[in-house]
A and B are shown apart, each in its own frame.
Chain A
Amino acid sequence: MRLVIENVSKRFAGVHALREVSLTAGDGRVVGIIGPNGSGKSTLFNVISGFLRADDGTVRLEDAAITSRAPHKIARAGLVRTFQVPHVAKRLTVMDNLMFGAPGHRNERVWSALLGRRRADRFEQEATVEAFDVAETVGLAPKADEYAGNLSGGQLKLLSLGMAMMARPQVLLLDEPTAGVNPSLIGRLIDPVFERRPVGQTIVLIEHNMDLITSHCDEVYVLDAGRVIAHGTPDDVRRDERVVQAYLGYEGAKT
């Protein structure tokens, strides 16, 4: 499934957060997005996933235009995003959260709750097996029955990634999954996502950690002040003059 973004712009009270951003991700590739703080990376994710309206431009998922559609419709179309600050249900257990990650909205009905539906029960059983597997993969199996509110910051990140894994989307957007994590633990955080990655899943990854970008991404887009200033393989982008300037500042780059 291809995610195609064409000329997307977004303004906040005169501030151009995104200016005619175009980006393509698909065919099971891993696409990185890097850029200095405030360059519009998270805004781009919010626009793609429907949490913000685009002022201009189009977002397409395969052939369907999903520009500014409701977030839940975009998710059902096959695109799921995570948040920079992990979003989990704190007064529910780790297993409850993982179970909720499974795309079971069709089973969440009053009538099937009251009368029982065979299809809903089977879905629930299969999801339970998968949720235990995911809990093991992300290392939260010992905490399966713990309230999510009692987890540490790193464990919350693992849980929110686990929920995205349960959703098995065709396009997965990860917003700085390793932000604020001790560098020695980054592998433990990101490896499970790739370990349990469904065949053909496209991943778009916002990251600051260049090593992670180099080792995992097929291609990279660089954003600066809301514009795409470079695009290519991680090695191309690393050598790109404009990228170095954007990160280090123009004065620093000259000397």
Chain B
Amino acid sequence: MIDYIEGNAILVLIYALVALSLNFQLGMAGLLNYGQIAFFLVGAYAAAIVVQHTDPGWMELLGIPAGAALGALMTLPVRRLSQDYWWLVTLGVAEILRLFLESEEGIANGPSGVVGIEPLASQGTYLWILAGIVLLSAIASERIRRAPYGRALRVLREDEAMASALGRDVFSLRLRVMMLGGAMAAGAGMLYAHYFSFVSPDQFTSGETFLIFLMILLGGQGNTLGVLIGVVLVQTTSEATRFVAQWVDLGSDRIGNVRLFVYGLVLVLVILWRPQGLLPERKRRYRDRRAASSTAPSAPNGEGALVAAQEA
């Protein structure tokens, strides 16, 4: 039982990484990336291919820059198109990549996939390592949210023309957020491959991207804690339906369909009734320190008087 709970916690943490990586694009920059799973796939296959060819183990780390490169590549075709085409291109890239690996037997055994990817640590230790990585990622995404970069991404989401009229290179900002999201999701894919020890194309369908979307939209776009809550909610309910399947006499494939139906319904209801998600994006409040600097010129810390821009 402990094993089972640990295993689920590990999956929650891996999904959390992917959701946080998509949140930069979807929640902050407003980019509808329906192909996020492709980055995850790149990372997982980097691990799988290295196992196959018994190259030195660290080589699989190349999956992370490969994820970033794929992010950059996805940005190119939409360079001159509006944001509305983003989902089409990203979905297309993800599906092409998956189908390519499925039909090309030479790279990673095609549809049968790769087995025997070795775990990096015992399950208990791995859980703590992952928890640490997720914590660091959450801190990183909070820092980005509060930084000028995060603000620029959110402005981009609202009004591109204004951003470029004020000297912002819209393409470069998007390129960098795609590379960031790509690298992070590829890292998550690697960690996933080492946990699951088996990688095959059908683990990376667009349905997975849909689940991550649901996590973010339910939890709250642009809110780090909200996204994490969304991940826990969706992943645990998804797991819980297995028990439901045992109680009611339904086949497991049919339960899977019912689950998808319910998730779709939840998604529609969230968009209709609570578009901002359970935890809405937090307002950044700036602290006005002007009075302090003018009325207290003899303050012990002269520079400190100018410190501003703090979260309320």
Considering only residues 269-310 of chain B, those with a C-beta below 8 Å from chain A are 281, 283-290, 293, 306-309
* In the complex, B167 has a CB within 8 A of chain A: yes
A105–B168 contact, CB under 8 A?
yes
What B residues does A89 contact at CB under 8 A? 154-155, 157-159, 162
- Give the Cβ gap from B143 to chain A, nearest Cβ, in Å: 5
Known: A100-B152, A110-B180, A129-B308. A80 touches B167 (CB 8 A): yes
Counted as pairs of residues, one from A and one from B, with CB atoms less than 8 Å apart, the total is: 141
A214 contacts chain B at the CB level, 8 A cutoff: no
Number of residues in A with C-beta < 8 Å to the partner?
Answer: 49
A26 in the interface (beta carbon within 8 A):
no
Also in contact, A108 and B167, with CB within 8 A (given A87-B161, A124-B309): no
Contacts A75-B164, A93-B283, A132-B288 hold; do A104 and B148 have CB atoms under 8 A apart? Answer: yes
**Cβ of A49 and Cβ of B165 under 8 Å apart?**
yes
Q: Is the interface of A mostly helix, strand, loop or mixed?
A: helix
With both chains docked as a complex, state the minimum distance between the C-beta of A91 and any C-beta of chain B, in angstroms.
Answer: 6
Which residues does chain A contribute within 8 Å of B96, judged by CB atoms? none
CB distance from B147 to the nearest CB of A (A): 3
Q: Does A92 contact B (CB under 8 A)?
A: yes
Chain A residues lying within 8 Å of B147, measured Cβ to Cβ, are 108, 112-113, 120
Residues of chain B within 8 A of A120, CB atoms compared:
147-148
Residues of B within 8 A of A91 (CB): 154, 157-158, 281
Please list the residues of chain B having a beta carbon within 8 angstroms of any beta carbon in chain A.
140, 143-144, 147-152, 154-155, 157-159, 161-170, 173, 176, 180, 281, 283-290, 293, 306-309
**9 closest Cβ contacts across the A-B interface?**
A113-B147, A75-B167, A89-B158, A87-B162, A128-B308, A71-B164, A108-B152, A113-B149, A108-B149
Which residues of A pack against B, CB within 8 Å?
A: 49, 51, 70-72, 75-76, 80-83, 87-93, 95-97, 99-101, 103-105, 107-110, 112-114, 120, 124-126, 128-129, 131-133, 144-145, 147, 160, 163, 167
Return 22 A-B CB contacts under 8 Å, by A number.
A72-B164, A75-B167, A89-B162, A90-B158, A90-B159, A92-B158, A93-B284, A95-B286, A100-B151, A103-B166, A104-B148, A107-B148, A108-B149, A113-B150, A114-B144, A120-B147, A124-B148, A129-B306, A144-B286, A147-B283, A163-B162, A163-B166
